[in-house]
Amino acid sequence: METVINIFIIALGLYFGLGLLFGLYFLFAGATTIDPLMKESKKVVRLLLLPGTIATWPFLIGKLFQSKKV
């Protein structure tokens, strides 16, 4: 049981670690491709959006790739 818990914690850490890396890139460079109004937003607003971006990064990475194809 301890092994299962360790695997779960490692997987959760990887998920949030990748989410943090993607979130920083997305909020400061990639979000403007999906929403042009993000160019006018302040950095403080973008940092407030960071937790939500970390949690939903698989969905947002798909939206980012779809918007670059158009």
pLDDT tens digit sequence for 2-54: 999 999 999 999 999 999 999 999 888 888 888 888 888 888 988 899 999 99
Neighbouring CB atoms inside 10 A of 15's CB total 14
Query: What pLDDT digit, counting tens, does each position of 51-68 carry?
Result: 999 999 999 998 888 876
Query: What pLDDT sits at residue 69?
Result: 61
